[in-house]
Amino acid sequence: MSKQVLDGLKAKFGDRVDIFERSERRAYVTVSNDDWIPVTRHMYEEAKGRLATATGSDRSTGVELLYHFAFDRDGTVVNIRTTLPKPFPKIESLTTYYPAADFIEREIFDFLGVEFTGHHDPRKILSSHDRPADFHAMRRDE
Amino acid sequence: MSTLIPIGPFHPVLEEPEYISLYVDGETVEDADIDLGRIHRGIELLAQEKTYDQDTFLVERICGICSASHSWAACLAMEDIVDVVIPDRARYLRTIVHELERLHSHMLWVGLAGHILGYWTVFMWGWKYREPVLDCLEAITGNRNNYAWYCPGGVRRDVADEIWPGVLKAMDEFAVQTDMLLHAILDDPVILGRLKGVGILTTEDAIAYGTLGPTARGSGVPIDVRRDEPYGAYSEVDWDVMVQDGCDCLAVAAVRLLEMLESVKIIKQCIEKLPAGPIATEVREIPRGEGIGHIEAPRGETFHFIRSNGTNMPERHKMRAPTFNNIPSFRPRVKGESISDAVLIFAVIDPCYSCTERLAVLGPDGRPYMKGKDLIALSHAKTEELRKNS
């Protein structure tokens, strides 16, 4: 069902995207940090996906970002994944072209300390104001 | 020069603490900022320390109003990893409870909207008509909220057949009341004056901000997970997605009111078609893998992502409630509007409140002191008295 979207990704990015089709309705695409903005921008502007939300998690390989793009017309979810090196994970923000990423990127910054460059409002969002600036609740190395 | 007007963190019309800063010039709102996090409870982190079975109970506690949505979405995420087939009876039972939840959530919002508008009759009606829905939920699941109904693979308890005639009767009455309320609200010039053309969210903004549910559908974005990625029994019953293209507060209110009638249709069909058979498939273990479950909660899409590492606890359980995506749309909606409409515009996304309280006044004999018809008679008598004296 998500074939059209995945074919579009393959045609545009070739070997730079690593696609895993989990099932008819779910696919996971791994990209490098450098391809993060081109691929996510393609998902929003050309493939017309909707950023449902994003998951940040601290894994042994680094801080992993998984952005969930829902395609309501097909009933599928295509997830774009990239891993950022610790201890100072940093990546360009999607908010420069997609306002829907605003709150969720602030949340990932708050809990995992990922710096989103170009974010217009890089403040903490959920943890209390008196938390130390370098404390990130979901980091496992602290 | 703009002036800062604070709303909250504790404000008479916001039942939950949230702090909104309104930047105003005279009476016109120029910009707004929303500060969240005052009731952050760290449930995502806690979910990583609970077993999958315990997680379904934990996520219900995210919200008292859409508790079924969260536990169903979590179950779908787990089932996405296991690839389990859900028995037909379980799919229908899941759908019935979920739609009843939508009814009581939307009716709660109608009441709160009346409260915010200062239209107390709507508040009283809305919350009065919501009560029988909660009674139906209590009859089916044993509880008014936090139903402990969903488990990976199906539902936890079966329902005796004697329950259904009462639920069907309540649904028939609810449809009549909703229809009355729909016309009373949409034909009232005062309410139209407060809602029509107020708080515009264009279709382009609704898409760019990633809004969901009635907030998106009120701006002409035809998305509904129930239709787009059918789960439960939605593909087997006849219903329509309600979309309005007014883009204002009235359009969102109309979507919610019309949706309630669709939910009644879904519930009645599900009860009529309810198949016999087992209520759950046993899920013995959740293997390594990643799963996604998303469903259409009353306020929009609820999204759950679970990563399993093969143990009995999730390695990561991400959950996102619809209000998180809908709140940022307050800024484009409120710019250029009057301060007096700001709270209404904020409430139109139905920010998630979880308050469940009920009250019954009993007379000396332990029976209800006054019933609905006594109160109506009293109200009529008082109106007559006022007319005579004026």
Residue A142 has pLDDT above 80, yes or no: no
> What pLDDT, on the 0 to 100 scale, is given for residue B354?
38
B328's tokens: 């940022």
CB B244 within 8 A of CB B218: yes
Q: Which of B66, B83, B177 is nearest to B125 (CA)?
A: B177
Distance CA B302, CA A104 (A): 14
Return phi, psi of residue B38, to 5°. Answer: -75, -20
Radius of gyration of chain A from its Cα atoms, rounded to whole angstroms: 15
CB B245 within 8 A of CB B116: no
Residues whose CB falls within 8 Å of the CB of residue B49, separated by 6 or more in sequence, listed in order: B313
* Å between B363 CA and nearest CA of chain A: 47
Report how many domains make up chain A: 1
pTM for this predicted structure: 0.90
B48, burial (CB in 10 Å: exposed 0-12, middle 13-18, buried 19+):
middle
Distance CA A57, CA A117 (A): 19
Structure-model confidence comparison of residues A140 and B376, the more confident one = A140
Say which of B83, B316, B324 has its CB closest to residue A103.
B324
* Å between B318 CA and nearest CA of chain A: 6
Distances (CA, A) of B271 to B39, B86, B163, B297: 38, 18, 10, 20
Distance CA B271, CA B97 (A): 11
Distance CA A3, CA A23 (A): 11
Mean pLDDT in residue range B174-188: 91
The CA-based dihedral angle spanning residues B35, B59, B241, A52, taken in that order and rounded to the nearest 10 degrees:
60
The CATH number of whichever domain residue A48 belongs to comes to 3.30.460.80
CB B79 within 8 A of CB B308: no
| B303 Cβ under 8 Å from any chain A Cβ | yes
Q: What one-letter code names the amino acid at B142? A: G
For testing contact with chain B, the best of A28, A40, A41, A50 (most B CBs within 10 A):
A50
Say which of B36, B207, B301 has its CB closest to residue A52.
B301
Residue A43 in any domain: the answer is yes
Determine the structural domain holding residue A71 and report its residue range.
3-88
Region class of B17: left (phi > 0), else alpha (psi between -120 and 50), else beta: beta
DSSP B280: B
Residue A10 in any domain: the answer is yes
Return phi, psi of residue B190, to 5°. Answer: -70, -45
DSSP B87: P
Confidence of residue B11 (pLDDT cuts 50, 70, 90): confident
* Å between B228 CA and nearest CA of chain A: 5
> What pLDDT, on the 0 to 100 scale, is given for residue B355?
31
Q: Which of B351, B177, B143 is nearest to B264 (CA)?
A: B177
> What pLDDT, on the 0 to 100 scale, is given for residue B369?
60
Residue B371 has pLDDT above 70, yes or no: no
User: Which of A26-40, B39-53, B110-124 is most confident?
Assistant: A26-40
DSSP per residue over B286-348, as a string? --SEEEEEEEEETTEEEEEEEEE-SSSSEEEEEEE-HHHHHGGGHHHHHTTSBHHHHHHHHHT
Residue B29: its H or E element: strand B28-35
Place of tokens 């217009």: A120
Residue A114 in any domain: the answer is no
Mean pLDDT in residue range B118-144: 93
Residue B360 has pLDDT above 50, yes or no: no
Alpha-helical (H) ranges within chain B are 43-47, 52-60, 67-82, 88-117, 120-141, 163-186, 189-195, 203-208, 213-217, 225-228, 249-273, 322-326, 330-334, 339-347, 372-389
> What pLDDT, on the 0 to 100 scale, is given for residue A53?
94
Question: A75 and B230 in contact by Cβ < 8 A?
Answer: yes
Nearest C-alpha in B relative to A126: B37
| A1 Cβ under 8 Å from any chain B Cβ | no
Domain spans, chain B: 42-338, 365-390
pLDDT digits (tens, 9 = 90+) for B186-217: 888 888 888 999 999 999 999 999 999 999 99
Residues whose CB falls within 8 Å of the CB of residue B260, separated by 6 or more in sequence, listed in order: B102, B103, B106, B107, B174, B178
Interface of A with B in 53-112 (CB under 8 A): 53, 55, 57, 66, 68, 70, 72-73, 75-77, 79, 98-100, 102-104
Least confident span in A27-31, A103-107, B324-328, B386-390: B386-390
Which CATH number, 1.25.10.10, 1.10.645.10, 3.20.20.120, 3.40.50.720, labels domain B42-338? 1.10.645.10
Say which of B42, B45, B208 has its CB closest to residue A99.
B208
pLDDT digits (tens, 9 = 90+) for B105-122: 999 999 988 888 888 899
> What pLDDT, on the 0 to 100 scale, is given for residue A129?
78
B311's tokens: 């143990």
